Structure 1
Amino acid sequence: MNQPAPLPTATVTAARTSRRTVVLASSVGNFVEWFDFTLYGYTATAIAAAFFPTGNKISGLVGAFAVYGVAFVARPLGAFVFGRIGDRRGRRTSLGVSIVLMGAATAAIGLLPGWSQLGVAAPILLLICRLLQGFSAGGEYTGAMAFSIEHAPDDRRAWYLALVGSSTWLGAIGATGVVLLFQSITGDGFVNGGWRGPFLIGGVIAVIGLVLRLRVDETPVFKAMQADRPDGPPARPFRDLVRGHWRTLLILFAYFAVLGLFTHSFLGYMPTYLAEAAGFSASTVLWLVTAANILTIPVGLALAVLADRHGRRIQLRLGAVAAIVLVVPAYLLIGTGNIAAVVLALLVLLLAVSLLSAGAISVLELYPTNVRFSGMALPYNFAYAIFGGTAPLVSQALVDGTGSLLSPAVYAGVVAVLALPLLLRIPETRGANLLR
């Protein structure tokens, strides 16, 4: 039998380059999103001092965390707008608009005058910037994931998604590195204005991301759907989604509630918690969290290889059980203040998050092409608005109200227990046909 002629070297190289560009273009907006959210958590004390009245440190910190959480209120609206654009006009168009808004809002935070210059207008403007960030984030992560797997080979979808997911942790690592750099440069001046520089860097990265996204074509899966629909894109993707997939929406809301709570408890609140519960200095906290985040990347990639070979459901279930069983012991270990115990606790928490995150590929593969963007964006952003964005605020409020440093762990464990029956209903999707 005659064998097909091998592809020319130039063609193979172009395909590889295109795939690398797809991963970069998908990842960069997610990088900026998590760079900003992590940066905000690390600079909460400085932001509180700059944008809220002086004299009451606790109320200023609670105010800063409240603004952190309010950004998530705009995410469902962003999910609606960008989900509609993504399912009707294409993933590439939606991702281009979202990264422009995100970069502009991030850079603006670094330029805003503070309370001493504008008074009450300062936190209002900060709030507006955060709302714009939340709005743009409503279509960013979900769109990037849909964009990446619809470009990926069928047997490497989890791997592509893990590469994009790594940008979450790379954004957190990048924020940590930039904060450490600016702290070393500005010293005590970091709180008095040096914290603004990292936000301006986030805006520059967003511009680079826009250029990358303009160089990548629309996904082959979306193009095939367009070819199969001579009458044009679906007129009302949300109506089709709610009528035909409401059970899936409910299950995925529970999934993202647990994932969002654990992720933002770690990225948004854990630096503050380590300082309060373990008594560590700010620099020690940054180094510990950064080391844990770096380790999460190879763990996530290894789990993706297993997911492509053996399936996704087992990892998701293990992550759900780990979130229930291990969260309280992990927080107890942190409370000891022993450095080895704290490192072990951080690794345990990040293992649970990594296992849960591996289930995101199943979420995307559950939907047909015409509602995939919206079907991911809606439950993700509603759940993150309720549980993810409020995680630092609720955690701090629980500690202040109960006097127990263990109360945030109990809260997270209870949410995971309530969500478990729905999480167990997520089916195995390895090998699912994306174009359906």
Structure 2
Amino acid sequence: MRRATLASIGGNVLEYFDFIMYAHFAREIGSTFFPPGVRFSQTTAALAAFGLTCCARPVGAWILGGYADRKGRLRSLRVSIVIMTTATFVLATVPGYARIGLLAPAVIMLARFCQGLSMGGEFGSATAFLIESRPAHATRAASWQAIGQILASLGALAVTFGLRQVLPAGASDETGFRIAFGIGTLLGILALLARMGAEPTPPRGPAARGMPAPPADARFCLRVVTVGSMVALGAGITYFGLAMLAYAQSELHVPADIPLYASVISVVGQLAFTPLRWRLANRFDRTGRIVPSLAGCGLVAVLSLCAACAVGRHPGLVLVLPLGLNLLGLSYFAPLDGQMGLVFPAAQRGRGLAIGYACGVVLFGTLLPFLIGWLSGGVPVVRSWVRNCSRGWLFWC
């Protein structure tokens, strides 16, 4: 089980590590790979490339998720980690705009698109692999996905802090993110080795009888919509945390170290509640009751609305709200990955879970990078409109 867990969460760890590193170094990536003097800032262009990653997710979910249903979860996981690691390596090594001109942004956009393809198939295949490795404890097994994301966040913050301490002032403009994505490449290689040594789960459903998976009918589409709705709240809070930290720096003029420390406290706090997360997941495995999950979802929604009203009077709340919302909604988030996986029958789990998860992430992940870029210094008129309209909207997410 340990080997299956490591093989499953390795790609998710790399995905979140890449996600945080790219968001943190967006300004440096923009100034390195994108031309100056364009209408939008270089940071906004870099975040647009990040949005391209989100747009590619549903395509990768359809392709790699279907491959997982036909050929097995582990084969799909190996393909996705190879693509993901290669795209990360490109970001760490490709020359900047000053050396190769417009070829630099073209290569970066292609790499981010490939990254999105691999990420699209990663979650569905990995979660299905975890669930099918321990069918009697499916939700507990799938909860390792969220724990892997927390560990990746902690590792990314540690790398960020370490680079700030080690590199001299000004040296991190380009060197910092290249070192960070070099570390990400090593993580991808380790994840690939773990997957090469893992034992595949036995085929299930029509695949076990050599038959193709059932077609995507109306029931399949309804399940995809259900999963997308389930993941939207978690994705919204994740992007909300990043958006609020950028907002604290650009609008509240908080020193750069304060959001970093707030992120560390948020991640460590979530990690400290891992035993409670497991207990809640085990309870769902025993009872199958969704009432606690619904109560947690409602609590987070109500508190988000209250926070939207309070942040104007107490702007420092933006630094503690991500942790608070994650902990107060733990009864919803703890069994979430397993619940989403169990929505689909085994024959459609790889593709269905991947598409639903990808669409839920895209719903919040495609728009918010532009909002963050505008909040940080995009077009003045649009930035003013976004600043005023998005304060409440971001909390609603």
CA drift of 1:126 comes to 1.1
* Counterpart residue identity of residue 373, structure 1: G
Question: What SS class does the counterpart of residue 264 from structure 1 fall into?
Answer: helix
Tell me the equivalent position of 1:360: 337
Answer with 349-358 or 120-129: which moved more: 349-358
Residue 72 (str. 1) matches residue 54 (str. 2): yes
| 1:340-359 correspondence runs (5 A) | 341-351=317-327, 354-358=330-334, 359=336
What letter corresponds to residue 303 of structure 1 in structure 2? R
Secondary structure in structure 1 of the residue aligned to 2:273: helix
**C-alpha deviations, 1:87-118, integer Å up to 9, x for none?**
01000000011001101101110112112112
Q: Give the direction of change, closer, same or farther, for the CA distance of 1:253–1:243 in structure 2 (3 Å limit).
A: same
Match of 1:262 in 2: 237
Look up the match of 1:83: 65
* Cα deviation code 1:105-158 (max 9, x no counterpart): 01110112112112222222111111111000011122111111111251x322
Separation (CA, whole Å) in 2 of partners of 1:281 and 1:87: 48
The residue identity in structure 2 corresponding to 1:287 is: Y
Contact 1:261 1:391 in 2 (8 A): no
Structure 1 residue 226: Cα displacement: 4.5
Residue 33 of structure 1 is matched in structure 2 by 15
Q: Which moved more, 1:364-373 or 1:157-166?
A: 157-166
Aligned partner of 2:269 in structure 1 is: 295
Query: Which amino acid in 2 is paired with 1:377?
Result: A
Aligned pairs for 1:7-406 within 5 A: 19-54=1-36, 59-154=41-136, 156-188=137-169, 189-220=171-202, 222=203, 226-227=207-208, 229=209, 232-234=210-212, 236-237=213-214, 239=215, 241-267=216-242, 269-310=243-284, 311=288, 313-330=290-307, 341-351=317-327, 354-358=330-334, 359-397=336-374, 400-402=382-384, 405=387
Give the residue type in structure 1 aligned to 2:369. P
Counterpart amino acid of residue 151 in structure 1: S
Give the structure-1-normalised TM-score.
0.81
Aligned partners of 2:64 and 2:121 also within 8 Å: yes
- Partner secondary structure for residue 222 of structure 2: helix
TM-superposed deviation, 1:292: 0.3
More displaced, 26-35 or 121-130? Answer: 121-130
Going from structure 1 to structure 2, the CA distance change for 1:278 and 1:242 (only over 3 Å counts) comes to farther
Match for residue 432 of structure 1? none
The alpha-carbon distance between structure 1 residues 413 and 181, as it changes in their structure 2 partners (threshold 3 A), is closer
Give distance in 1, aligned partners of 2:314 and 2:155: 26
Shift of 1:55: 5.8
| Cα deviation 1:230-273 (Å, max 9, x = unaligned) | xx042x54x2x334423222222222333323222324x33312
CA 1:395 to 1:346, structure 2 compared with 1: closer, same or farther past 3 Å?
same
SS across alignment from 2:254: coil
**Matches of 1:44 and 1:309, distance apart in 2:** 41
C-alpha displacement at 1:404, in angstroms? 6.6
Cα 1:352–1:264 shift into 2, 3 Å: farther
Bigger Rg, structure 1 or 2: 1
Aligned twin of 2:379? none
Task: Please give the TM-score of this superposition, normalised by the length of structure 2.
Answer: 0.88
Distance 1:410 1:100, change over 3 A: same
In structure 2, relative to structure 1, the CA distance for the partners of 1:315 and 1:51 (3 Å cut) is farther
> Residue 347 and residue 176 in structure 1: after superposition, are their counterparts in 2 closer, same or farther (change >3 A)?
same
Alpha-carbon distance between aligned partners in 2 of 1:217 and 1:372, rounded to the nearest angstrom: 19
Cα deviation, 1:359-414, whole Å, max 9, x if unaligned, reads 23211112111001111011211232232233232355479544575643422455
- Residues 1:211 and 1:297: Cα distance change in structure 2 (over 3 Å): same
Q: Which runs of 5 or more residues in structure 2 are unaligned?
A: 377-381
- Give RMSD over aligned pairs: 2.6
Q: 2: CA distance between counterparts of 1:199 and 1:331?
A: 35
CA-to-partner distance for each residue in 1:16-61, whole Å, 9 max, x for gaps? xxx1111111111100000001110111111122122346896122
SS in 1 for 2:199: coil
Q: Kindly tell me: are residues 385 and 105 of structure 1, through their superposed partners in 2, closer, same or farther at Cα, counting changes over 3 Å? A: same
Matched residues, number? 387
Q: Assess, with a 3 A threshold, how the Cα gap between structure 1 residues 281 and 331 changes in structure 2: closer, same or farther.
A: farther
Give the structure 2 partner of residue 434 of structure 1.
Answer: none
Long gaps (5+) in structure 1: 1-18, 417-436
- Asked if 2 retains the 8 angstrom alpha-carbon contact of 1:262 and 1:388, the reply is no
- Which protein has greater RCO, CA pairs closer than 8 Å, 6+ apart? 2
CA contact (8 A) 2:341 2:349 kept: yes
Contact kept in structure 1, 2:308 and 2:392, CA below 8 Å = no
What secondary structure, in the 3-state scheme, does the structure 2 residue paired with 1:194 have? helix
